[in-house]
Chain A
Amino acid sequence: MSPREHLADALRQRCGLTGTHLGCEHGVCGACTVRVDGAAIRGCLMLAVQADGRQVRTIEGAGDDPVMQALQHAFVERNALQCGYCTGGFLLTAAELLELDPDPSREAIREYLSGNLCRCTGYQAIVDAVELAARRLRGQSGTDVALP
C-alpha cells in the first residue's frame, strides 16, 4: 500500500466497502466519515497506514447497532435523504452524538452535524430524524413528532 493513500480510498478500493463516499477530499463535506476506535473521523484526512492496528467501522458494519437502526428507520420515515450521497456520513456522526447525549436539543444536533454537508434536504428533515430516533431510543414513542 502506498503511504499517500488515505483511509477512505483504501476502504473503497482495497476492501470494496463503497459505502464510505468521497465528496471534497479535503475535510469539508463529511461524506467519508468513518469511526476509528469508536471516534467519528474524516476518512479522507487519515492516511490508511495510520489505521494499522485500529478498529475501523464503516457504514456497512454499523447496521446491527440499535442506535444506527433507529436512525436509519427515522431517516427513511422523515425523508431525511434524497440522493443519499451524504447519508452514511450523517448516520455515523449522528450515532456518535446519540451515544454521547441521548437527549440532544435541536441546536445541539445541528451543531454536531455542522461538519456534514447535504445539498438535497436543507437539513430540516435530518434534524427531525435524529430527534425522532433519539426520542425512540429513550423509550418514548416518537409519534408526537408532527408530520409537516
Chain B
Amino acid sequence: MKPAPFAYVRAESFEHALDVLAEHGDDALVLAGGQSLVPMLNLRLVQPAVVLDINALHALSTIDTHAEGGLRLGALVRHREIAIHPVIATRAPLLRAAAPWIAHPAVRHRGTLGGSLALGDPAAEWPACAVALDATIRLASRARGERCVAASAFFQGLYQSDRRADELLVGCEFPRASDDSVFFFRELARRHGDYASVGLAVSARGRPGAWQDLRLVFFGVGDTPVSATACSAALIAGDAFADAQTRLEAELEPRADLWFSAPAKRHLAVQLLRDAWRDLGNPIGGT
C-alpha cells in the first residue's frame, strides 16, 4: 500500500505547471486534493513518472462571479468550501445541495472540484452536477492556451475526458440560476459518504405543467454522467409519469456494482426520478 517511486514537482506558478505538463504529458499526473489520486498511487493503480502538485497555485482556489452573474470556480476549490460558501448557496444551489453527499468530512476538506471533474469518476457528484447545470470546463495548455468545453461534451468514457495530456483543468463556470430555476439532488448508497450506487442531479426552469430546460442527469449508472433525455422530453411534453418512467428504463443501461444488480439499479433510478418529480411539485399519478 505504498506508491511506486515518482518525481515530485511542486508547481511554483501557473506557467510552470503548464511547462511540466507540456514536457511530460501522460507521464505526469496532477495532484490537487489527492483524495482519489493518492489512493490510486497507494494501490499502485497508477504509477506516474511525475506527480505535479498544484496546491500552491492559489489563483486556482477562487470563487468569483462573472459578468452574466454566473459562477467561476477555480479547480482547487475544495468540496467543503462549496458546502459552506454563501455565494454558492444563492447562485448555484445544486452545488450546495450536492456537496454534503461527497465522501466524508476529512475527504471534503482536501478534495477539489477540479480534481473530481478531471478524474470523471462515473459515480462522483461534480461531473453529474456540471452536466445538469450546463457548466463549462476551462482547460489550459502551453501549446494552445486556454479553451472551454461544455461539460456535456467533456466526459467521454470511463475515466476518459476531453482533457488532453498537456492540459491543466483550471476551473469550471456555472450559469446563474434564474428566478424560476429549481434543483434536486439525491443519491443512494449503502453507507453515507460511500460512492453512490445510483444518484440523480436535476436542474429545470419553470413550474409544474410548464417546465423547460429540464435536465435529468444520473450517475453511478454508466461510464459517464447519463443524461436521461428521452425521459425529460416526455416529462416536458406532459406525458404521464408512467410513460416517462418507461422511457427512463429504456435509456439507462446500468452495470451491476458490488451491491446492486443492473435491474436493481434501474429500479433505484426510477425511485429517484419519482422522488425528484414529486419534490418539484408534480403529480405522479397512479402509483
Contacts and interface: CB of A to CB of B under 8 A. Distances in A.
A145 interface: no
Contact of A26 (B5, B39, B51, B55): B39
Contacts of A30: 104, 106
Interface string A1-17: 01111100100000000
A127 to B, nearest CB: 14
Interface in B1-46: 1-8, 10, 31, 34-35, 38-39, 41-43
A112 B39 contact: no
A114 interface: yes
Given A3-B51, A42-B110, A45-B110, A115 B42 contact: no
Contacts of A50: 31, 34, 53, 55
A24 B2 CA distance: 11
Contact of A112 (B2, B105, B109, B110): B105
B222 interface: no
B191 interface: yes
A27 B55 contact: no
> For this complex, into which size category does the number of interface residues on chain A fall?
20 to 34
Interface residues of B, number: 30
A103 interface: no
B38 A93 contact: no
B110 A93 contact: no
B174 to A, nearest CB: 25
Contacts of A24: 1
Nearest to B55: A50
A20 B34 CA distance: 19
Given A3-B7, A3-B51, A4-B5, A40 B109 contact: yes
A41 interface: yes
A3 B43 contact: no
Contacts of A47: 8, 31, 34, 38, 51, 53
B242 interface: no
B107 interface: yes
Majority secondary structure of chain A interface residues (helix, strand, loop or mixed): mixed
Contact of B38 (A6, A49, A96, A116): A6
A143 B181 CA distance: 49
A33 interface: yes
Contact of B109 (A5, A39, A110, A116): A39
Contacts of B4: 4
A4 B6 contact: yes
A46 B107 CA distance: 11
Contacts of A44: 38, 42
Contact of B191 (A39, A96, A114): A114
A111 interface: yes
Given A45-B35, A47-B34, A111 B110 contact: no
Contact of B110 (A2, A46, A97, A116): A46
B113 interface: no
A55 to B, nearest CB: 14
B106 A93 contact: yes
Contacts of A26: 1, 39, 42-43
B7 to A, nearest CB: 7
6 contacts: A4-B41, A6-B2, A25-B2, A26-B42, A49-B10, A97-B105
